[in-house]
């Protein structure tokens, strides 16, 4: 009997370096800390994770040059795409991992916790996000989604001394598993309707279907059901209404640096997968899914903005704020699915710029929340921020800039992010979404001003001004966390003053996801 040769795809390792930095980096970190236990209790895991994030960013430079010279690369037998979009999203996720590593170092020291498992899970989750951003196959998208999600489920419940953390992890896991089931059933239905899970082949099949018209029995039933189930799966991951119910409880109970990672890297990966699938495959039937995305956007900005102002817990405020921001990004995604090429390009650019700006803003905001939370990670009431300007004026001043950016105040990146999606909606003649976004921006401004007023104009209820410094040196010794906050504020102001900085990179990344 003769042995049969199995054909395997060529693996261009040079194009996979960012993914290898995170995936293999996690394995190497486990190995090193197992062989040298002393490394567990030092800053080595945090420095190592931050180095992996920087290394991933550095490797993007030659990859970007190759993509510019040779065009987008489809690798691993069509499973992954290396293009401007994937490179841009990889850069954002790398920044989020860098921020999270520095915040975790201070947090774990303060909480008397150790162990590299926090950092290992962050690296693994990030590798799943990179897979989602580059996936050219629905199966690969699902694998990336699960790698991303399972690690975060554990991270949310990993503070074993806080029952709120275990509760948050359990809720996140149950609802996340349900949304994954919806997503997988959606893939099965799309395969039944088109005969493929490859995004390019799905687009070709739908283009033919669109030309001859949808047959209600043969085509549209499976296709529409599949797209609806995919929307459920992605809607949960990006915490968009009406799939947002898990968000406030999980944000409140999970460890604060992990919430920052969820609000940045996880949300970015979710939107990247969303854009890759729907803008890469379902544009020929955009008339069927774009109204649903528009409705999700409208619900998200209304629910997120109005319910946020009723909260008295900062982390719950930020949870509803993230729902509102998801609605703004969905407005850009709705415009990106337009058949008008100008509107589509503008919408995709607004989505990517918003993801970058929001990642930086929310990373710095949860950096401040990590510090103010003190030992036990429980001081997140609005009262805990009262009088912060008199106790920590620098910290309060930096937080004000981040609050104003999220409100969309001019000369911040948040202003241009919101302006971009609203402009895309107006260009696409979606005036209802544009009007709702402007109203939501005004309501959101009240929320962020409420936090500012508490810090500068409200006296603390008690005179325990020394508590913030006394609790394990949480505020007095925070060089790593302050690096994150200062860097976030600096980037927010820089891109607020120079919004077109790196514009060529952004425009190339935005157009590469549009087939």
Range of weakest confidence among 150-154, 280-284, 403-407, 434-438: 280-284
Rg (CA), the chain: 22
Instruction: Assess whether the previous peptide bond of 259 is cis (omega < 30° from 0).
Output: no
Whether the full predicted model's pTM is greater than 0.85, yes or no, is yes
Asked if residue 134 is part of any domain, the answer here is yes
Contact 506, 88 (CB under 8 A): yes
Share of the chain above pLDDT 70, in %: 93
Tokens of 49: 């994770």
Tell me the pLDDT band of 515, cut-offs 50, 70 and 90.
low
Tokens of 427: 């260009």
The C-alpha atoms of residue 285 and residue 292 are separated, in whole angstroms, by: 12
pLDDT at residue 151, rounded to an integer? 95
Which helix H or strand E contains 82, and what residues bound it? strand 80-82
Asked if residue 208 is part of any domain, the answer here is yes
Per-residue pLDDT of 133-181, as tens digits, reads: 999 999 999 999 999 999 999 999 998 888 889 999 999 999 999 999 9
Which distant-in-sequence residues (6+ apart) come within 8 Å of 113 by Cβ? 159
Taking all residues of the chain, what is their mean pLDDT, rounded to a whole number? 89
pLDDT at residue 81, rounded to an integer? 92
Which helix H or strand E contains 296, and what residues bound it? helix 286-308
DSSP-assigned beta bridge partners for residue 313: 381
Asked if residue 77 is part of any domain, the answer here is yes
- Residue holding tokens 């994030």? 53
pLDDT at residue 470, rounded to an integer? 37
Per-residue pLDDT of 81-127, as tens digits, reads: 999 999 999 999 999 999 999 999 889 888 888 789 999 999 999 99
Range of weakest confidence among 100-109, 172-181, 366-375, 461-470: 461-470
The C-alpha atoms of residue 225 and residue 180 are separated, in whole angstroms, by: 15
Residue 73 DSSP label: E
Asked if residue 332 is part of any domain, the answer here is yes
pLDDT at residue 100, rounded to an integer? 95
The C-alpha atoms of residue 374 and residue 74 are separated, in whole angstroms, by: 47
The domain tally of the chain equals 1
Asked if residue 5 is part of any domain, the answer here is no
The C-alpha atoms of residue 29 and residue 45 are separated, in whole angstroms, by: 7
Which helix H or strand E contains 454, and what residues bound it? helix 431-457
pLDDT at residue 467, rounded to an integer? 36
Instruction: Give the mean model confidence (pLDDT) for residues 305-310.
Output: 91
The separation between the first and the last C-alpha atoms of the chain, rounded to the nearest angstrom, is 47
Asked if residue 9 is part of any domain, the answer here is no
Residue 383 pLDDT exceeds 50? yes
Contact 412, 496 (CB under 8 A): yes
Asked if residue 8 is part of any domain, the answer here is no
The alpha carbon dihedral of 143, 507, 17, 101 has a sign of negative
Asked if residue 245 is part of any domain, the answer here is yes
Give how far Cα 153 sits from Cα of 58, 98, 126, 172, 262, Å. 29, 20, 13, 6, 10
pLDDT at residue 4, rounded to an integer? 65
Q: Which domain holds residue 293?
A: 14-512
């Amino acid at each position: 009997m003769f042995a049969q040769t199995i054909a395997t795809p060529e693996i261009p390792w040079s194009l996979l370096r960012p993914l290898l930095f995170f995936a293999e980096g996690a394995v190497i970190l486990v190995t090193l800390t197992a062989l040298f236990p002393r490394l567990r209790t030092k800053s080595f895991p945090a420095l190592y994770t931050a180095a992996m994030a920087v290394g991933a960013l550095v490797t993007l430079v030659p990859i970007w040059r190759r993509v510019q010279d040779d065009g987008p690369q489809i690798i691993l037998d069509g499973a992954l795409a290396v293009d401007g979009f994937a490179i841009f999203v990889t850069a954002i996720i790398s920044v989020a991992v860098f921020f999270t590593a520095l915040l975790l170092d201070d947090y774990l020291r303060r909480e008397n916790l150790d162990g590299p498992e926090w950092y290992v899970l962050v690296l693994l989750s990030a590798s799943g996000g990179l897979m989602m951003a580059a996936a050219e196959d629905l199966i690969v998208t699902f694998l990336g989604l699960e790698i991303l999600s399972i690690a975060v489920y554990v991270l949310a419940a990993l503070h074993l001394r806080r029952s709120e953390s275990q509760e948050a992890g359990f809720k996140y896991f149950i609802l996340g598993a349900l949304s994954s089931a919806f997503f997988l059933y959606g893939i099965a239905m799309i395969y039944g309707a088109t005969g493929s899970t490859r995004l390019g082949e799905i687009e070709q099949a739908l283009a033919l279907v669109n030309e001859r018209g949808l047959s209600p029995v043969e085509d549209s039933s499976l296709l529409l059901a599949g797209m609806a189930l995919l929307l459920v799966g992605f809607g949960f991951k990006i915490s968009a209404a009406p799939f947002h119910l898990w968000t406030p409880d999980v944000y409140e109970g999970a460890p604060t640096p992990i919430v920052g990672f969820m609000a940045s890297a996880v949300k970015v990966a979710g939107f990247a997968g969303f854009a890759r699938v729907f803008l890469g495959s379902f544009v020929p039937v955009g008339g069927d899914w774009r109204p649903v995305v528009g409705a999700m956007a409208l619900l998200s900005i209304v629910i997120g903005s109005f319910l946020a102002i009723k909260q008295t817990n900062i982390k719950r405020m930020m949870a509803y704020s993230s729902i509102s921001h998801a609605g703004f990004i969905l407005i850009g995604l709705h415009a990106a699915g337009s058949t008008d090429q100008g509107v589509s390009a503008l919408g995709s650019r607004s989505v990517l710029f918003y993801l970058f700006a929001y990642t930086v803003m929310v990373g710095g905001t949860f950096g401040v929340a990590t510090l103010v939370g003190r030992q036990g990670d429980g001081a997140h009431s609005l009262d805990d921020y009262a009088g912060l300007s008199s106790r920590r004026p620098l910290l309060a001043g930096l937080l004000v800039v981040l609050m104003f950016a999220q409100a969309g105040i001019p000369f911040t990146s948040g202003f241009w992010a919101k302006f971009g999606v609203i402009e895309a909606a107006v260009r696409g003649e979606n005036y209802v979404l544009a009007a709702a976004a402007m109203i939501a921006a005004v309501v959101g401004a009240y929320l962020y001003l409420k936090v500012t007023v508490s810090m500068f104009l409200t006296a603390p209820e008690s005179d325990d001004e020394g508590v913030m410094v006394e609790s394990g040196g949480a505020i007095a010794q925070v060089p790593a966390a302050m690096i994150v906050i200062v860097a976030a504020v600096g980037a927010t102001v820089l891109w607020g003053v120079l919004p077109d900085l790196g514009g060529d990179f952004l425009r190339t990344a935005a157009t590469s996801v549009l087939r």
